[in-house]
Structure 1
Amino acid sequence: MKKMIYGVAGLALAPAAGYMYSRYAEPGWLRTTEVTITLKRLPPSFDGMRIVQFSDVHLGFHYTTEQLAGLAGRIQALNPDLICFTGDLYDSAVGSDAIPTVEVLSRLHAPLGKGAVLGNHDYYGKESEKIISILTDGGFSVLMNRSVPLQRGQERIWLGGVDDMWDGRPDLPRTLQNVPENECVILLAHCPDYADLALKRSVDLQLSGHSHGGQVRLPLFGPVVLPAYGRKYVAGHYVLGGGKLQVYTNRGIGVSVYPVRFNCRPELTVLTLRRG
């Protein structure tokens, strides 16, 4: 009888415990993922380059500027050569925290600089221009369908970025128009499924976010819900076209729509590039 009572009580409490964990524990349990990416066209002087990628902060929706400050400290402690942000700085609208956010972003430093693109949420509330200003004032190059060279000695690679696939106007030909055909390109694209278009061009590595990895992933089932343009390359490392293009989809920092994560911890990614 006691065993039966304990069993019934356990079944009754399990949903509440699961909710408490997914609402209050896992969203703050940040994981740093180390990934080595081998690129055939990477110049020798860039061998060993460290990129720290973060994505989908969603400030204002259960994520504060104070938390962003803690995140900045963790990013800086990883000694990045390049810092990349792949969209959705805010969840919907810029609040009164614009100046503190600029101050926090300004604390991030990397020898090769800081690049960013916008995500679909950065367009909500018609706030995209404000968010571009916040990122720019925070020292990020906002790559709206353009590329910039990254130089080490006499060698270089290119960091490009396209506008958001959902609410923006991505233009990859324009992004690559000044890039020599034989030079290595890293592309920032908020939506990971943009990789199907990038595969048709001369792009070596695409970094994306947007999907949150599903945000809630059930064992043996996977992600419960996925957004448009984030359903094919949901999370982690993908190799496409026989190695022509590699993709890394970051699970994001914050949450959106529902303030929960389950079996899908927030993520910082450290990508070490190696010459193939």
Structure 2
Amino acid sequence: MKLLLVCVLLLGVLGVTVFRAFDTALTVRAYTVETGKVSAPVRLVLLTDLHSCDYGEGQRELLDLVEAQSPDAVLLGGDIVDDDERLPIENALTAARVLAERHPTYYVTGNHEFWTGDVDGVRARLSACGVTLLAGECAELEIRGQKVQVCGVDDPSAGEAEWHSQLDRVTQAVEGDAFSILLTHRPERVEDYEGRGFDLALAGHAHGGQWRLPGIVNGLLAPDQGLFPKYAGGRYDLGETTLIISRGLARESTRVPRIFNPPEVVVIDLMPCRDGGRESVN
């Protein structure tokens, strides 16, 4: 009898572990950034790597979760559209249209938008949804009397020379009195982001390393980083710039299932410094 109970218990634990490992239900991952450049809270939502995936009729699962966060702005960090014809662009456009109707929404390209072979068409359709496209430009948000500067660059698939030119342009446009954000698709190019004066850099692309062992392995494999990527997902200190990497929203678009790596909506709260000091992230 004792052996039977032990076996039942072990099977139960195994079942729960397997369920959790392959669970692809949306989750919210929250970060807090303290800064002397805001005097009242500002909430941002970062969405990356949707890959035209299906989140229910009218994308309600995703849109309802975003709306529940009450963001002041939504940032789309690339690969919102996929180049696989089995994944309809309408899924991405539906989400973008509703988000832009409700919130200021900004977008940069990822590699998959270029891989469609019609990146200009993708840009045009997203722009028609009311999304603000950023490709070497900065936009200024005023939220409760506070300035937040959102700057964005295309994916390097635009060409290395063009990518560096865009990065230089947004660097020159940084305003010191505004909280400045660099929206980019690629997380691994940290050496290019350091020392440019941005308070916050936001990226995706790595899909959280696809497979994770929380607390042990942050990610197994990521594009452009290979095995055990350093920048799979989470927050990283780049000197005066904090880098936050989303693990993304890709589900049915991935050839390999996500393990202990659920798709995520990233929430970033900009908060006034409690001690008047330098920015910090929790």
TM class, shorter-length: 0.7 to 0.9
So what's the TM-score if we normalise by structure 2? 0.78
Aligned to 1:92: 83
More displaced 10-residue stretch of structure 1: 49-58 or 68-77: 68-77
- Could you tell me how far 1:136 is from its partner in structure 2? 1.2
Aligned to 1:233: 231
Query: 1:37 and 1:114 mapped to 2: Cα distance?
Result: 20
Q: CA-to-partner distance for each residue in 1:79-131, whole Å, 9 max, x for gaps? A: 11010111101221467944564344221258861111111111113131122
- Could you tell me how far 1:181 is from its partner in structure 2? 4.2
- Could you tell me how far 1:153 is from its partner in structure 2? 6.0
Aligned to 2:52: 59
Q: Is the 8 A contact 1:65 1:97 kept in 2?
A: no
Gaps of 5+ in 1: none
Task: State the Cα RMSD in Å.
Answer: 3.1
Aligned to 2:30: 34
More displaced 10-residue stretch of structure 1: 150-159 or 260-269: 150-159
Aligned to 1:49: 42
Query: What is the SS of the residue equivalent to 2:33?
Result: strand
Letter of the 1:223 partner, please give it. G
Q: Is the 8 A contact 2:81 2:113 kept in 1?
A: yes
Query: 2:249 and 2:91 mapped to 1: Cα distance?
Result: 18
Q: Which residue among 47, 50, 61 is the counterpart of 1:70?
A: 61
Query: What is the SS of the residue equivalent to 1:68?
Result: helix
Query: What is the SS of the residue equivalent to 2:23?
Result: helix
Aligned to 2:178: 183
Query: 1:192 and 1:116 mapped to 2: Cα distance?
Result: 16
Q: Which residue among 168, 189, 194 is the counterpart of 1:173?
A: 168
Query: What is the SS of the residue equivalent to 1:136?
Result: helix
Query: What is the SS of the residue equivalent to 2:188?
Result: helix
Q: Which residue among 237, 246, 255 is the counterpart of 1:250?
A: 246
- Could you tell me how far 1:142 is from its partner in structure 2? 1.2
Gaps of 5+ in 2: 274-282
Aligned to 2:271: 274
Over 3 Å counting, the alpha-carbon distance change for 1:69 and 1:167 in structure 2 is farther
Query: What is the SS of the residue equivalent to 2:109?
Result: coil
Aligned to 1:212: 207
Correspondence 1:195 to 2:186: no
Q: Is the 8 A contact 2:210 2:256 kept in 1?
A: no
Query: 2:209 and 2:194 mapped to 1: Cα distance?
Result: 23
So what's the TM-score if we normalise by structure 1? 0.80
Query: 2:87 and 2:209 mapped to 1: Cα distance?
Result: 30
- Could you tell me how far 1:38 is from its partner in structure 2? 1.4
Percent identity of paired positions between Structure 1 and Structure 2: 26
Over 3 Å counting, the alpha-carbon distance change for 1:204 and 1:94 in structure 2 is farther
Over 3 Å counting, the alpha-carbon distance change for 1:111 and 1:150 in structure 2 is farther
Over 3 Å counting, the alpha-carbon distance change for 1:246 and 1:110 in structure 2 is farther
Over 3 Å counting, the alpha-carbon distance change for 1:195 and 1:68 in structure 2 is farther
